[in-house]
Chains A and B, each alone.
Chain A
Amino acid sequence: MKYFQRFLLPAVVAVASLQLAAAADLKIIANPGVTAASVSSDELKAVFLATKTSLGDGHVEPVLAKGGAAHEAFLKAYIGKTEAALETYYRSLVFTGKGSMPKAFASDAEVAAYVAKTKGAVGYVSAGASPAGVKTLEVK
């Protein structure tokens, strides 16, 4: 018990704090046609791992950033995989016929522009970004 209090508990709290901090750096955005107003962190992870293809009553499509601070924060806060591991995961879907490679864009503006024009698209941008034509999903 002492071991837990002295070492494990602070470690767990530290990891959780880092994840919360990473999540605070982000804004989860969706096409206005997505009916859901909020999403749980487990649902968000499932959407980006292609095991969940709908939110509310509509089909959804994950949209990624190609590197950058928002991308790293998103992986840390919600996916729990390194960038290399996530790429490997997507490729394993593509080369076994179980999924497509998601669209990926180089900047917040490009991510937001694609999400705004694509039915069911869900993406993420930096917390400071103010993209037009998209809705922000609350993460519960």
Chain B
Amino acid sequence: LQVRTIVLGAALSAAPGLLYGQFDFHVAGRDVQVHSFASQGFAYSNQNNFLTMKTSDGAGFTDYGVNVSTQLTDKLRVGAQTYGRSMGRLGAWMPSVDWAQADYRFKDWFGIRAGKVKSTLGLYNDTQDMGFLHTWALLPQSAYPADFRSDYIAHEGADIYGNIPVKKAGSFAYVLWGGRRPNDPNGGMKLALQDNAGGKIIMKELKHAVVEGADLRWSTPVSGLLVGASLIATTFEVDGPYTLQPSGITADLSLDVKKSHTQAYYAQYSHGKLRLDAEYRRTWAIRQADITGPVTGTQFITQDARYGYVSAAYRVSKLLEVGAYHSRFYPNWPVARATDNGHVFDNAVTARFDLRNYLDLKLEGHFMDGYGGVASLPRAFYPSDNPQGMKPTTNMFVVRLEYHM
């Protein structure tokens, strides 16, 4: 991994200036654009291992993507993007279809996208993979958990969308969407179920995974001020063997997520070189676990997670942007949120250097308190990555080199 990391890093650093700008060509008189990106990160933490990586020893992480798109007619646009990553036990370098869609805009206030479509949630859900679009090496993990990206990033279905100007009141953009929730065999949900403190669940099958959502954002008459709200509702069922701890007895499990609703409220204010973001989210979930085999029983599990962040970024010069955020995640708000297992607080500071138009380097410090979720559904901090036991705080340094064209 280290050799691969060094080679990729060197290749990114040496990317020639002629790669600046997109690569495009013409087919039947239509402009076809090809864009790509890749990044190489490195994380080192002083305590707990983070995001399935052995960060306490220093760990590299990589991602990449390439897309092709064209405007077939004035109203019809088609395109597709592949994405792959390697981040600890996540991704396994396997490329997958990130999005592949046809988009027909009947009017500016009414269009339809169909295929595999990026899901709109909060400020950055649909762009969370593209680090070069953001100030941060790692987005606030409360709202944009890198391990659970594939659970929210896209849906196989359709969007209805549009923009509606309202004269002096600014403009509104809306999206209504729905479809099938994709299954990621190399994603965080599978790992979280395996690392469940109550018992080890091997996810054999994801069934009846349906997701639907809505987003409404208002570009207010106040210059630079955007406010919005999103909603996601999802249901799905996980089947597989379940090994109870500490007895070691294995039974068959059907875990039925009967309801999982996420509400997101967000605001962004930009003025000159300053950008302020804030997001607040709440997720309610009701799960029914039916166990059959040597032991039988039915259990209902409820979860009320609350999380969000505030951030500020300032572009000092064309070369340098600096920023900081405070992120909070409470995996189950009503339960013991003062304990280390009841929350994750993350204070991050970043310097982003735009070395070229197509290349940036980020240096980022994280100062985290807590490892919330380990006792129920782990997120970012996994017991199997931390067999020595969890420490209450984790400081982490992240370097990330990003290329795009």
22 CB < 8 A contacts A-B: A42-B165, A46-B108, A46-B165, A46-B171, A51-B171, A52-B165, A59-B75, A80-B224, A81-B270, A82-B273, A84-B321, A84-B354, A88-B133, A95-B37, A95-B127, A95-B130, A95-B133, A97-B77, A97-B81, A97-B101, A99-B77, A100-B71
Closest to B127 in A: A92
4 A-B pairs besides A91-B132, A97-B101, A97-B117 with CB distance below 8 A are: A80-B223, A80-B270, A95-B67, A101-B35
Is B99 in contact with chain A by the CB < 8 A criterion? yes
Complex contacts, A94 vs chain B, CB 8 Å:
22, 33, 35, 67, 69
Is A98 in contact with chain B by the CB < 8 A criterion? yes
- Label chain B's interface by main secondary structure: strand
Q: Are A96 and B108 in contact (CB under 8 A)?
A: no
A81 to B273, CA, bound (A): 9
Complex contacts, B101 vs chain A, CB 8 Å:
97
A98 to B115, CA, bound (A): 13
Closest to A120 in B: B74
Is A13 in contact with chain B by the CB < 8 A criterion? no
Is B103 in contact with chain A by the CB < 8 A criterion? yes
B143 to chain A, nearest CB (A): 17
Q: Are B103 and A98 in contact (CB under 8 A)?
A: yes
Is A38 in contact with chain B by the CB < 8 A criterion? no
- Given A80-B223, A82-B272, A85-B270, decide whether A96 and B118 contact each other with a Cβ distance below 8 A: yes
Residue interface mask B86-122, A partner, CB < 8 A = 1: 0000000000000101010100100001000110000
A81 to B99, CA, bound (A): 28
Complex contacts, B393 vs chain A, CB 8 Å:
none
A93 to chain B, nearest CB (A): 10
Is B315 in contact with chain A by the CB < 8 A criterion? yes
A59 to B76, CA, bound (A): 12
A interface with B by C-beta (< 8 Å): 42, 46, 51-54, 59, 80-82, 84-85, 88, 91-92, 94-101, 120
Complex contacts, B171 vs chain A, CB 8 Å:
42, 46, 51
Q: Are A97 and B224 in contact (CB under 8 A)?
A: no
Q: Are B108 and A54 in contact (CB under 8 A)?
A: yes
- Given A82-B272, A98-B103, A100-B69, decide whether A46 and B163 contact each other with a Cβ distance below 8 A: yes
A91 to B224, CA, bound (A): 19
Q: Are B163 and A97 in contact (CB under 8 A)?
A: no
Residue from B101, B108, B132, B273 having most chain A Cβ neighbours under 10 A: B108
B322 to chain A, nearest CB (A): 13
Is B57 in contact with chain A by the CB < 8 A criterion? no
A88 to B404, CA, bound (A): 11
Q: Sorted from nearest, which 8 A-B pairs have the closest CB atoms?
A: A59-B74, A51-B163, A96-B126, A96-B118, A97-B79, A92-B127, A95-B130, A97-B99
A12 to chain B, nearest CB (A): 11
Complex contacts, B31 vs chain A, CB 8 Å:
100
A139 to B194, CA, bound (A): 61
Q: Are B33 and A101 in contact (CB under 8 A)?
A: yes
Residue in A80, A99, A101, A120 whose CB lies within 8 Å of B22: A101
B139 to chain A, nearest CB (A): 13
Complex contacts, B275 vs chain A, CB 8 Å:
85
Complex contacts, B163 vs chain A, CB 8 Å:
46, 51-52
Complex contacts, A46 vs chain B, CB 8 Å:
108, 163, 165, 171
A67 to B108, CA, bound (A): 29
A82 to B74, CA, bound (A): 28
